A and B are shown apart, each in its own frame.
Chain A
Amino acid sequence: MAESQKAPETVNPALVLVAAAAGWFVPGLGHALLKKWGKAIVYFCAIALLVIVGLRMRGNMFSSSAADAFDMLGFLADIGNGVFYFLSGSINPAGADVSRASGDYGTRLIATAGVLNFLCVLEVLQIGFGGKPRREEEHTPA
């Protein structure tokens, strides 16, 4: 092995799975458990911003009792928000109002945040199982 290359850090697979679950429940927490603090903060802020703005715009958070396939897709996207999904009633006590354009846009923001969090969870798994370098320096040329 060349001197400039670092040996990959070994991470307990159970910790990776816990980090992925934690990252789903609280956006960014998975990265924080893997000590990627910068990413954790940015992901949390981005997802929280999207969900809170979406809910304040009176966007719709789909429930598991879906009436059709599109509602089910909406639910699958929204459940990606983790704790924000369960707190949606507290964040926006007035409930959804998609009769106006702002409510419709809010629904899209919430779904985007959920899908974005799923991407973050996938990245936690990728980092943890060694598919992605854990440190930025490993990518810089020697």
Chain B
Amino acid sequence: MVIFALAVSAAFALLSKNKMSERVRYAVWAFLAFLVVAIGIGWLMYPFTR
């Protein structure tokens, strides 16, 4: 999941932003958002595992 988030956020940052500072900010934001959302949804699904 971390590898996925890292690769996709880096590619999205380069695709969507033009300035280096914007790219870095967007990549960090997207990377953290991927992790937080994935872990959050994982915990939300936890009660339904059994």
- Which of B3, B14, B18, B19 makes the CB contact (< 8 A) with A49? B3
**Digit string of B1-19 for contact with A (CB within 8 Å is 1, else 0)?**
0011011101100110011
Number of interface residues of A (CB under 8 A): 22
Across the interface, which residues of B come within 8 angstroms of A46, CB to CB? 6-8, 10-11
Cα(A39)–Cα(B23), bound, Å: 12
Number of interface residues of B (CB under 8 A): 12
Looking at chain A's contact residues, the main secondary structure is: helix
Determine if B19 and A50 form an interchain contact, defined as CB atoms under 8 angstroms apart. Answer: no
Which A residues are within 8 Å of any B CB, using their own CB? Answer: 38-39, 42-43, 45-47, 49-50, 53, 108-109, 112-113, 116, 119-120, 123, 133, 136, 139-140
